[in-house]
Amino acid sequence: MRQGFIAMHLIDAQMDLKQPMADKIVKLIDEVSNIVRLSCNIEFSKESLQYFRFITHLKFFAQRMFSGIKPPQDDIDEEMEQMVQQKYQQAHLCVEKIVPFIAKKYRYAVSGDEQFYLMIHIAKVIRKCQD
């Protein structure tokens, strides 16, 4: 739950949201962070730039998700996506746990582009924790 307090601080400091939306965002950030932490058996380096970027990415993802805003489609190149999936297998497996969790609990389909960017942020935070 400690990540939730950090996430709430980031949300409060950077966004002007009504409390119910902020609570939903914090809950999603905490849930996804826990999936990453438990799946990868890591403890976050909460002072790191990688962790801050990961939480910021989750914050904006959650805001789009709960607001019903469709993310822009960057059309990630399939070859690049496969290369990243192979290089960062642990992050890819983690995303494969997060996507069905969000689909089941929140009835939201995470786009391929969003999965790709989430995978990159997770890979970076994992690498930082293993240093």
How do residues 22-79 score in pLDDT, each as one tens digit? 889 999 999 999 999 999 999 998 889 999 999 999 999 999 999 888 776 777 888 9
Instruction: Give the torsion through C-alpha atoms of 98, 104, 107, 111, to 10 deg.
Output: 30
| 2-130: CATH superfamily | PRD domain (1.10.1790.10)
How high is the mean pLDDT of the chain?
A: 86
The token pair that represents 44 in the structure block = 């976050």
Domain boundaries, the chain: 2-130
pLDDT confidence of residue 57 = 94
Instruction: Name the residue with higher pLDDT: 44 or 17.
Output: 44
pLDDT confidence of residue 125 = 94
pLDDT confidence of residue 1 = 42
The token pair that represents 43 in the structure block = 């403890």
